């Protein structure tokens, strides 16, 4: 068993930090406290109105986040002022350390969670903090923590306004680990569930439920440090770089946290213990890529103003491979969904075809650059991103429209592709449905 110094050093080397987590006292209704990630339902104001009606006057994370649907509204500044005020109110008196506001005494440790969704799936996770010094979203990065999708720099500054100086942080970021043997999170859960839950609650809008168990103490920390270290060894390349965590959800939120830390560090270089400041770390949920409750869905493409023969011929020229004719939607879906090779389905005006390609890397990492080139050469053609094969076949029946069916996202090649090629194009995959995304629940002091 690792000693205190051993596990501390190991976790630090792996970019992992044991946080002090804030959970509301059990006198508060967690079903009203917990709210879905701010980047969901971005076209559905009614969802957020219904959430506000359900919360009422109860303490809620809804009062300390800014749903992205409101980012461009005229009242953003007043919303931000209200968020900061509520954060301070929830924290209690800064002068009286015994006053923790609505929160229980901080938990120094991790939290193992089981999230049951409305689709009958259960996702397991570990709430922890990561060191932002170990994260780099830029293409070509060899950092421990890397982006999975292209980061749009213009999306960072508006989010910095929310995090900069915020007394509290609360995460919707989900990091993935490459652990097919399930030696880390699943094993931590077995040990944690020997004790009663720290909390459990249904989630609003019929989004399922969540239960959390405390993980604390030298033995537990040592087991987790050892498990992460074994995973790191298996995910270390010949050049010595280790790809331990991939950002599954919340890429721009983590990039924002990094930007705020870099800004704060630069402005406070002479401050004592600056390297230990809470802003250096970010609270996240870590999930095993191979968790059966974690679904990876492809995001399909549809091009308006062109036909499949033109598009498929262009893509074939770029990627190589063979175009196969198809007699039915069922046949095309079966061809694309087989795992013996990578295939793309093309649907246009009722015509069906399939491009079989030789490369085993994630399909979208090769398709999107080819489509980007096609769009540059054909500026009148427009692209959109769609979920579900039914929508592919429906849109593909329209004239001058080409819908492209992508194969399932292969978990086995996920880390390999990003490690070799860098972040995937935007809109590459979806981790479950909107209601399955992370709900805000755990908090941590940041600048408060």
388: Cα within 13 Å, side-chain hemisphere: 5
Alpha-carbon distance of 117 to 376, in angstroms, equals 41
Whether 201 is covered by a domain: the verdict is: yes
Query: Looking at the structure, do residues 210 and 100 belong to the same domain, yes or no?
Result: yes
Q: Are residues 49 and 198 in the same domain?
A: yes
Let me know if 164 is exposed, middle or buried by CB neighbors in 10 A (0-12, 13-18, 19+).
Answer: middle
Strand blocks (E) in 149-295: 168-169, 174-177, 199-202, 209-215, 245-249, 281-288
CB 358 within 8 A of CB 320: yes
Using CA atoms, how far apart are residues 247 and 243, in angstroms rounded to an integer? 11
- Nearest of 301, 405, 408, 297 to residue 353 by alpha carbon: 405
State the number of CA atoms in the 13 A half-sphere of 84 facing the CB.
13
Q: Is residue 348 part of a domain?
A: yes
Structure confidence at residue 28 as a pLDDT band (50, 70, 90): very high
Tokens of 373: 């080139």
93 and 104 assigned to the same domain: yes
Q: Give the mean pLDDT of 355-367.
A: 81
Residue 308 CA to residue 341 CA, distance in Å, equals 21
**Residue 189 sits in the same domain as residue 317:** no
Pair (261, 306) in one structural domain: no
Residues 217 and 342 in one domain: no
Residue 156 in this model has a pLDDT that exceeds 70: yes
Check: pTM over 0.85? Answer yes or no: yes
pLDDT value at position 114? 98
Strands 145-147 and 245-249: parallel
Distances (CA, A) of 284 to 175, 271, 376: 7, 26, 38
Query: Are 310 and 284 members of one domain?
Result: no
- Work out the angle between the directed axes of helices 218-234 and 4-13 (0-180°, nearest 10): 40
Q: How far apart are CA 401 and CA 393, in angstroms?
A: 11
Positive or negative CA dihedral for 154, 155, 158, 163?
negative
Run of H or E including 263: helix 251-267
User: Is there a single domain that holds both residue 270 and residue 324?
Assistant: no
In a domain, 428, yes or no: no
Q: 100: burial class by Cβ within 10 Å (0-12, 13-18, 19+)?
A: middle
Q: What are phi and psi of 404, to 5 degrees?
A: -115, 120
- Domain match, 306 and 289 both: no
Residues 284 and 312 in one domain: no
Radius of gyration for the chain, computed over Cα atoms and rounded to the nearest angstrom:
23
pLDDT in tens, 260-316: 999 999 999 988 999 999 999 999 999 999 999 998 888 899 999 998 889 999 999
- Read off the CATH number of the domain in which 328 is found: 3.30.1760
Query: Are the CB atoms for 427 and 299 separated by under 8 Å?
Result: yes
At 102, the pLDDT band (50, 70, 90 cuts) reads very high
Residue 419, domain member (yes or no): no
Question: With bands split at pLDDT 50, 70 and 90, how would you rate the model's confidence at 60?
Answer: very high
Length of the chain: 448
Do residue 200 and residue 261 come from a single domain? yes
Residues 6+ away with beta carbon under 8 Å from 179? 185, 231, 288, 289, 290
Domain of residue 215, residue span: 4-295+433-445
Domain count, the chain: 2
Determine, yes or no, domain membership for 210: yes
Q: DSSP letter at 184?
A: S
Whether residues 354 and 222 share a domain: the answer is no
What pLDDT is stored for residue 2 in this prediction? 67
> Which residue, among 172, 148, 178, has the nearest Cα to 284 in the 3D structure?
172
Segment holding 383, helix H or strand E: strand 382-386
The runs of H, that is alpha helices, within 268-413 are 308-319, 329-337, 363-377, 389-395
Tokens coding 108: 């120094």
The answer to whether residue 29 is domain-embedded is yes
- Measured CA to CA, the distance from residue 127 to residue 444 in angstroms comes to 11
User: What is the pLDDT averaged over residues 76-88?
Assistant: 94
Would you say residue 53 has pLDDT above 80? yes
pLDDT digits (tens, 9 = 90+) for 161-192: 999 999 999 989 999 999 999 999 999 999 99
Q: Is 420 within the bounds of a domain? A: no
382 found inside a domain: yes
Distance CA 438, CA 433 (A): 11
Cα 132 to Cα 100: distance, rounded to the nearest angstrom: 27
3-state secondary structure at position 316 = helix
For 27, the token pair is: 């006198």
What distance in Å separates the CA atoms of residue 322 and residue 193, rounded to the nearest whole number?
Answer: 52
Find the helix or strand (DSSP H, E) in which 402 lies: strand 401-405
């Amino acid at each position: 068993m690792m000693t205190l110094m051993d596990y501390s050093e190991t976790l630090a080397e792996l970019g992992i930090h044991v946080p002090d987590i804030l959970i509301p006292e059990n006198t508060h209704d967690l079903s009203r406290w917990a709210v879905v990630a701010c980047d969901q339902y971005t076209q559905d104001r009614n969802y957020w109105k219904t959430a506000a009606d359900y919360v009422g006057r109860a303490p809620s994370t809804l009062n300390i986040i800014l749903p992205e649907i409101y980012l461009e509204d005229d009242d953003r500044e007043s919303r931000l002022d209200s968020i900061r005020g509520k954060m301070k109110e929830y924290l209690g008196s800064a002068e009286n350390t015994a006053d923790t506001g609505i929160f229980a005494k901080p938990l120094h440790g991790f939290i193992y969670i089981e999230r049951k969704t409305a689709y009958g799936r259960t996702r397991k996770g570990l709430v922890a903090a990561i060191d932002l010094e170990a994260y780099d979203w830029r293409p070509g990065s060899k950092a421990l923590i890397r982006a999975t999708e292209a980061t749009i720099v213009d999306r960072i500054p508006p989010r910095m306004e929310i995090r900069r100086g915020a007394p509290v942080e609360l995460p919707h970021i989900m990091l993935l680990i490459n652990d097919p043997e399930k030696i880390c999170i699943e094993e931590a859960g077995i040990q944690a569930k020997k004790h009663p839950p720290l909390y459990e609650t249904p989630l609003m809008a019929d989004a399922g439920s969540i239960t959390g168990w405390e993980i604390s103490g030298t033995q537990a920390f040592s087991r987790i440090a050892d498990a992460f270290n074994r995973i790191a060894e298996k995910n270390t390349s010949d050049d010595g770089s280790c790809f331990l965590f991939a950002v599954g959800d919340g890429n721009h939120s983590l990039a924002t946290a990094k930007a705020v830390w870099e800004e704060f560090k630069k402005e406070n270089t002479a401050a004592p213990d600056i390297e230990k400041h809470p802003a250096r770390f970010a609270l996240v949920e870590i999930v095993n890529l191979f968790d059966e409750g974690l679904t990876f869905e492809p995001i399909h493409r549809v091009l308006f103003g062109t036909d499949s023969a033109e598009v498929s011929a262009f893509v074939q020229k770029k990627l190589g491979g063979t175009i196969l004719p198809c007699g039915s939607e069922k046949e095309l879906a079966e061809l694309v969904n087989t795992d013996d090779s990578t295939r793309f389905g093309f649907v246009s005006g009722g015509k069906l075809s399939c491009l079989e390609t030789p490369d085993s890397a994630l399909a979208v990492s090769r398709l999107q650059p080819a489509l980007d080139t096609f769009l540059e050469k054909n500026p009148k053609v427009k692209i959109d991103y769609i979920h579900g094969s039914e929508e592919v076949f429906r849109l593909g029946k329209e004239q001058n429209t080409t819908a492209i069916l992508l194969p399932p996202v292969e978990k086995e090649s996920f880390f390999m592709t990003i490690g070799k090629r860098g972040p995937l194009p935007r809109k590459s995959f979806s981790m479950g449905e909107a209601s399955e995304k992370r709900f805000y629940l755990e908090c941590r002091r940041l600048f408060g």
